[in-house]
């Protein structure tokens, strides 16, 4: 119920959240339409190629004989799932490392922060390119999601650690220790609720980061191009020189959809971050 109360307050008092929520809703609904596609979006040459947008083909068709509306719907679904997978897995790592490091402290804290700093300094993009050249097409959406989740946690883990360091000396923590509560229960039952707002905000930012990387790699051709994502749709459009031959819809619709999704995620993340600050929340609600 608390979650729905927060969403209700944000929708009522925060215009940025409302816009972001509408944008994300459009993207999610469009992605879910892929389950009702009348044709298999993976098949090629199922419709006449290079048809401009019309009543029959809303987004036109590609040079590969695919209905772009349905192809792009599946691409958005795969891209969203990819972002959620990366964000979800990296949240598990960052929460665990941050809570353990901040609460246990001592040698454990130093070791975990050394590992954290090593991951912070890794050059992510060149590393992903090296992995692609090693595994080739085996670097599919799920493999790439795991790789990026293993690389996308350190900044957020340090942030969670800083919050946990303060919680460790709070009165309720001392009471929990004196009552015999285990360290695991203190971290994940007492401290975790205090870091969840930060976790939610960083999850949105992590999705933006992951999707941006996936699109970049796919547009450059460094991923499994047979899997429809926003990046691979743009790759095939460039591969067929769609803009040069006047097939603008093959580029415009994926890019516009990507911008809408990025704006939605960004506005929702910023709004939630503002809601976490009581002074900003009360000032906005007072207006």
pTM above 0.75, yes or no: yes
Q: What is the mean pLDDT of the chain?
A: 87
Query: How far apart are the C-alpha atoms of 256 and 68, rounded to whole Å?
Result: 14
CA distances from 271 to 21, 55, 119 (A): 10, 38, 29
CATH number at residue 114: 1.10.3720.10
Alpha helices in the chain (DSSP H): 2-13, 15-32, 68-104, 106-121, 124-135, 141-151, 154-167, 171-178, 183-185, 192-219, 230-239, 249-276, 278-286
Q: Express each pLDDT in 248-263 by its tens digit.
A: 999 999 999 999 999 9
pLDDT-derived band at 8, boundaries 50, 70, 90: confident
Domain that holds residue 112: 2-49+57-286
Query: What proportion of the chain, given as a percentage, has pLDDT over 70?
Result: 94
What pLDDT shows up at residue 3?
59
Q: Express each pLDDT in 21-58 by its tens digit.
A: 999 999 999 999 999 988 888 888 888 898 999 998 99
What pLDDT shows up at residue 280?
52
Q: What is the CA radius of gyration of the chain?
A: 22
Sorted by sequence, the CB contacts under 8 Å of residue 286 that are 6+ apart come out as none
Question: How many structural domains are present in the chain?
Answer: 1
HEC sequence for 245-281: CCCCHHHHHHHHHHHHHHHHHHHHHHHHHHHHCHHHH
Q: Express each pLDDT in 76-90 by its tens digit.
A: 999 999 999 999 999
Q: Express each pLDDT in 186-230 by its tens digit.
A: 898 888 888 888 888 889 889 999 999 999 999 988 888 888 999
Task: Tell me: pLDDT of 116 over 60.
Answer: yes
What pLDDT shows up at residue 135?
81
What pLDDT shows up at residue 169?
83
Tokens of 41: 């979006």
pLDDT-derived band at 1, boundaries 50, 70, 90: very low
Mean pLDDT calculated for residue range 96-110: 92
Q: Are 73 and 61 in contact (CB under 8 A)?
A: no
């Amino acid at each position: 119920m608390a979650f729905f109360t927060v969403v209700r307050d944000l929708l009522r008092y925060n215009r940025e959240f409302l816009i972001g929520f509408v944008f994300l809703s459009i993207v999610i609904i469009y992605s879910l339409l892929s389950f009702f596609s009348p044709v298999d979006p993976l098949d090629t040459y199922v419709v006449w190629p290079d048809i401009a947008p019309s009543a029959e083909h809303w987004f036109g068709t590609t040079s590969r004989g695919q209905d772009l509306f349905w192809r792009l719907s599946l691409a958005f679904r795969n891209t969203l799932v990819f972002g959620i997978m990366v964000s979800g897995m990296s949240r598990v790592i960052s929460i665990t490392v941050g809570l353990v490091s901040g609460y246990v402290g001592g040698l454990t804290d130093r070791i975990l922060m050394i590992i954290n700093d090593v991951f912070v300094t890794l050059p992510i993009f060149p590393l992903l390119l090296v992995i692609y050249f090693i595994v080739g097409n085996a670097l599919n959406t799920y493999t790439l999601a795991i790789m990026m989740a293993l690389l996308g946690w350190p900044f957020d883990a340090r942030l969670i650690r800083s919050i946990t360091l303060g919680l460790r000396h709070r009165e309720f923590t001392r009471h929990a220790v004196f009552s015999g509560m285990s360290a695991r229960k203190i971290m994940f039952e007492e401290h975790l609720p205090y870091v969840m707002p930060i976790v939610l905000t960083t999850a949105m930012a992590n999705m933006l980061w992951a999707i941006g990387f996936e699109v970049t790699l796919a547009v450059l051709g460094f991923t499994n191009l047979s899997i429809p994502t926003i990046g691979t749709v743009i790759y095939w459009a460039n591969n067929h020189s769609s803009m040069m031959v006047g097939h603008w819809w093959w580029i415009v619709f994926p890019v516009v959809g990507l911008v809408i999704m990025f704006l939605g995620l960004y506005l929702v993340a910023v709004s939630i971050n503002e809601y976490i600050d009581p002074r900003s929340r009360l000032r906005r609600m007072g207006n």
